[in-house]
């Protein structure tokens, strides 16, 4: 296992556990962290999602990621 040398926040793909590169806003509302997807899973995700709307993973932690820590709807 290699350690990343930068401080990019590590976000795992909610589908395969790989390194996520984007997040689907639709799923972010419904499923929270499962909305994070790698490139391969994002492709497959479009079959499951009513309205795929992706945001890229933001490199700077200071850039506003207002929805990221939002609480998923629980029941």
Interface ranges with Zn ion (CB under 5 A): 13, 15-16, 18, 24, 26-27, 38, 41, 49, 52
d(CA 53, CA 22) in angstroms, rounded, equals 10
Query: Is the CB of 46 or the CB of 60 nearer to Zn ion?
Result: 46
Minimum separation from the CB atom of position 43 to Zn ion (A)? 9
Query: Is the CB of 44 or the CB of 59 nearer to Zn ion?
Result: 44
Minimum separation from the CB atom of position 5 to Zn ion (A)? 23
**Full strand arrangement of the beta sheet holding 54-56:** 36-37, 22-24, 54-56
For residue 75, the SS3 value is coil
């Amino acid at each position: 296992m290699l350690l990343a040398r930068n401080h990019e926040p590590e976000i795992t793909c909610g589908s395969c556990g790989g390194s996520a590169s984007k997040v689907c806003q639709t799923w972010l509302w419904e499923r929270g962290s499962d909305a994070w997807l790698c490139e391969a899973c994002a492709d497959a995700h479009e079959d499951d999602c009513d309205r795929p709307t992706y945001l890229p993973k933001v490199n700077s932690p200071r850039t506003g990621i207002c929805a990221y820590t939002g609480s998923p709807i629980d029941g």
